[in-house]
Amino acid sequence: MQLPAAPWSAEDIFQTLTTYRAQDLDWRDGRAWAYIYDAGPEVEAVAKRAYMEFLSENALDPTAFPSVLRLENELVALGARHLRGDAEVAGNFTSGGTESIVLACKTARDRTRALRPEVRRGRLALPVTAHAAFHKAAHYLDLAVDLFDVDPRTFQASPEAAARVLTEDTIMLVGSAPSYAHGVVDDIPGLAALARARGVLMHVDACVGGWMLPFLRRLGQAVPDFDFAVPGVTSISMDLHKYAYCPKGASLILYRDRDLRQHQLFACSNWTGYTIVNPTVLSTRSGGPMAAAWATLHFLGDPGYLRIAQAVREATVRVVEGIRAIPGLQVLGEPQMALVAAASDTDEVHIFHVIDEMKRLGWTLQPQLGWGPHKENFHLSLNASTAPRVDALLADLAVAVERARGLPSPVAGLGEGLGALDPATLPPELFGQILAALGVQGTALPERLAGIHAVLNSLPPHLADAFLTRFFNELYHHKAS
């Protein structure tokens, strides 16, 4: 790959870029039940115009661009009010849920360093349903993780289970509202009371639900308390690029007060360049995502979100009922918002085959691996653009389950023998050989992925992760064509 010897015309550039998208997921027809949150072309047009208008403005120095400082402060104030915070709540706009969560963990770590220097290595207490972003934060920030299991029927994290893993070195307890995997809200008041009694911080991961749940509450649904109205909740992450339908690169991290947020900030005068004062992980930050988020919130306004929340919730109820009526499938827990997980309830139907059959019928569902006693399953996220497709989805799902019923188990037995291996000592060729045995040629995946998912599912997590990072290390490498 090298720069062209002669510049390309704009026409050639855009034509070529269009061809690059040929294999992409076609998300505009409401058949992608993950990755995409789409409120329709009018919202998209307004958001993209605002995005382009602020694309070049830089939030690196808010004194040079007061416009982006104002956008960020207004978005934080809007989010704080939405989550029943008072005027003391402080926060920042970030690039996504992961950055919000990394910052919450960094804040907890540095607050502990300041107030409890005897803690050598801070620990996070996480339900197994907590998003992987917390594990990533622990990995980046050198924190330890103590996992506790959730109720096998409701998939909710309880304070009783959390209490068993708290230690002297715990710096923060986490609950989800709701969890991404199963769409259920943890017992946040119970968890927050425990955290408060033990003098640790309590983070609520409302990345996926923080925006939509308050609208559902206003529509009369019994939404459990999860926000700043709950004593003991010290920080909340809330993505705007999910159920606020803002373009990607939009999330908020909110803290109960500025004393706590102070630990998030980073300044550096210890080099020869300009003075750095960064509230977030990024330093140079485009104003585009902020302006686009601000525009989307104002364009849809309160009535827009209320209307979408109602339609999406009604569609979710129909999906849950519809899945329960399909023999061979089982809904996990009681989905409280717009995210649904379903597993097979019979040995005759393997859920990973169902995902493959649905893909052949044009639908994208997300596979989720099993964990301990919790079964592998598929995940659906409903949104404004998928809600009108519920009947078509359910009809095809019934077909896919019947087709899957005739297929042999994808668990080829490959996974079992691998469980005892240590990825650190595995010869690299072996990874390639195992991948080839699974039908992976170079980085080209086979049409059906059930076999691969079944093997990943049967491996201990650390080994599955070793395979996945090896594969992606190949994927992110330009191959001359």
By the criterion CB under 6 A, which residues form the site for ligand PLP? Answer: 96-98, 101, 131, 133, 176, 180, 205, 207-208, 239, 251
Q: Provide the minimum distance between the beta carbon of 133 and ligand PLP in the complex, in angstroms, as a whole number.
A: 5
Collapsing DSSP to helix, strand or coil, 56 comes out as coil
Q: Provide the minimum distance between the beta carbon of 95 and ligand PLP in the complex, in angstroms, as a whole number.
A: 8
Residue type, 263: H
Between 110 and 205, whose beta carbon lies closer to ligand PLP? 205
Q: Provide the minimum distance between the beta carbon of 159 and ligand PLP in the complex, in angstroms, as a whole number.
A: 20
Decide: 255 and 235 in contact? Cβ < 8 Å: yes
- Pairing outcome for strands 266-268 and 366-368: unpaired
Q: Provide the minimum distance between the beta carbon of 185 and ligand PLP in the complex, in angstroms, as a whole number.
A: 11
Reference 254, options 130, 89, 137; nearest CA is 89
Q: Provide the minimum distance between the beta carbon of 346 and ligand PLP in the complex, in angstroms, as a whole number.
A: 29
- CA dihedral over 405, 406, 410, 411, signed as positive or negative: positive
Reference 378, options 408, 332, 414, 341; nearest CA is 341
Between 150 and 326, whose beta carbon lies closer to ligand PLP? 150
Reference 328, options 403, 379, 248; nearest CA is 403
Between 205 and 376, whose beta carbon lies closer to ligand PLP? 205
| Residue of this chain nearest to ligand PLP (CB atom) | 97
- Pairing outcome for strands 339-344 and 329-331: antiparallel
Between 96 and 232, whose beta carbon lies closer to ligand PLP? 96
Q: Provide the minimum distance between the beta carbon of 382 and ligand PLP in the complex, in angstroms, as a whole number.
A: 13
Between 205 and 227, whose beta carbon lies closer to ligand PLP? 205
Reference 178, options 138, 238, 136, 232; nearest CA is 238
Helices and strands: H and E segment counts in the chain: 16, 13
Between 14 and 35, whose beta carbon lies closer to ligand PLP? 35
Q: Provide the minimum distance between the beta carbon of 177 and ligand PLP in the complex, in angstroms, as a whole number.
A: 8
Q: Provide the minimum distance between the beta carbon of 324 and ligand PLP in the complex, in angstroms, as a whole number.
A: 24
Length of the chain in residues, anyone? 481
In a 13 Å sphere around the CA of 46, the CA atoms on its Cβ side amount to 16
Between 98 and 457, whose beta carbon lies closer to ligand PLP? 98
> What per-residue string of b and e applies to 75-106 under the rule 16 or more CB within 10 Å gives b?
bbebbbebbebeeebbbbbbbbbbbbbbbbbb
Between 251 and 377, whose beta carbon lies closer to ligand PLP? 251
Reference 125, options 142, 107, 149; nearest CA is 149
Phi, psi angles (nearest 5°) of residue 455: -65, -45
Tokens of 156: 């909710």
Cα distances (angstroms) measured from residue 411 to each of 235, 318, 346, 470: 42, 32, 15, 21
Q: Provide the minimum distance between the beta carbon of 208 and ligand PLP in the complex, in angstroms, as a whole number.
A: 3
Q: Provide the minimum distance between the beta carbon of 381 and ligand PLP in the complex, in angstroms, as a whole number.
A: 9
Q: Provide the minimum distance between the beta carbon of 289 and ligand PLP in the complex, in angstroms, as a whole number.
A: 12
Tokens of 345: 């309830």
Q: CA 385, CA 37: separation in Å to the nearest integer?
A: 8
Reference 116, options 263, 266, 232; nearest CA is 263
Q: CA 173, CA 26: separation in Å to the nearest integer?
A: 39
Between 246 and 326, whose beta carbon lies closer to ligand PLP? 246
Count other Cβ atoms within 10 Å, centred on residue 190.
20
Q: Provide the minimum distance between the beta carbon of 101 and ligand PLP in the complex, in angstroms, as a whole number.
A: 6
Between 207 and 244, whose beta carbon lies closer to ligand PLP? 207
Between 251 and 458, whose beta carbon lies closer to ligand PLP? 251
Between 110 and 239, whose beta carbon lies closer to ligand PLP? 239
